[in-house]
Amino acid sequence: MHKTTILQMIGYGDRTRTQAGDVRLFQENYPELLPISQGIVSKIERQFRERGHVRQMPRHNLFTNSEMTDMEAIYPQQNFSERAAARSYADTYTNRRQPNRKLFSRLLSRLRETGSFRPSRHYGRPVVHNVQQEEEILNIFEGEPTINIRRMSANVRLSRSTTSRILHEQQLRPYHYYPLKTYYQVIF
């Protein structure tokens, strides 16, 4: 909301005021809001010129799939030279957002590794399974399927979430035996 207000004050490129004048006008009209700087005005103006809007976008969505396909088509034509590919892309597609030269090689390696232009969603520490501990969990479960995960994880000295994940990967679920009164016990 504030970005569009600042754009209206800028005049969408109709430069009748300086950036300092835009800052002063914004602070006079909206004293209850935090003050802005000339750098913010400059950043919003540049963002509008580059994208045509001022909405915040995630980094991996800056380029569409067709744009990334065009980048990867140009990259081999330039003998896998990042600088030459960036220049050629800028010359060919003047109206588009221009990528960093490193993006060409990163897209190619991502495409080879995952088969997709988009980054994988696997972040954080990779899950490492110790085969010996995994077999021990499965042996405990096989010997006593009614054991709860808390006791099983204490026996193996693993976290409950790791123990639960190992059972889940093997499509096993711990169950608890609840003795039920039979029909005859209830009647008599």
Cα–Cα distance list, 100 to 23, 30, 70 (Å): 31, 37, 14
Q: How many domains does the chain have?
A: 3
Q: How many other β-carbons are positioned within 10 Å of the β-carbon of residue 53?
A: 12
pLDDT in tens, 70-121: 999 999 999 999 999 999 999 999 888 888 889 899 889 988 888 887 776 6
Q: Confidence class of residue 132 from pLDDT cuts 50, 70 and 90?
A: confident
What is the model's pLDDT at position 27?
80
What is the model's pLDDT at position 14?
54
Both 183 and 170 in one domain: the answer is yes
Both 132 and 185 in one domain: the answer is yes
Contact between 19 and 42 (Cβ < 8 Å): yes
CA-based radius of gyration for the chain:
30
Decide if pLDDT at 19 tops 50.
yes
pLDDT in tens, 143-185: 887 888 888 888 888 888 888 888 888 888 776 666 666 555 5
d(CA 28, CA 165): 58
Both 65 and 51 in one domain: the answer is no
Given the structure tokens 């988009």, which residue do they identify? 118
101: left (phi over 0), alpha (psi -120 to 50) or beta: alpha
What is the model's pLDDT at position 122?
63
Task: Over range 128-138, report the average pLDDT.
Answer: 81
Both 95 and 71 in one domain: the answer is yes
Helices assigned H by DSSP within 52-119: 65-77, 82-92, 102-114
Task: Over range 3-32, report the average pLDDT.
Answer: 70
Both 155 and 187 in one domain: the answer is yes
Q: Which residue has the higher pLDDT, 57 or 50?
A: 50
What is the model's pLDDT at position 49?
73
What is the model's pLDDT at position 1?
46
What is the model's pLDDT at position 12?
52
Q: Is residue 119 part of a domain?
A: no
Q: 12-21, 40-49, 124-133, 162-171: which has the highest mean pLDDT? A: 162-171
Decide if pLDDT at 11 tops 80.
no
Tokens of 33: 């809001």
Q: Is residue 168 part of a domain?
A: yes
Contact between 26 and 5 (Cβ < 8 Å): yes
Decide if pLDDT at 13 tops 60.
no
130: containing domain: 124-188
Tokens of 82: 């990042």
Output the CA angle 75-105-58, nearest 5 degrees: 110
* Count, residues in the chain: 188
d(CA 23, CA 33): 12
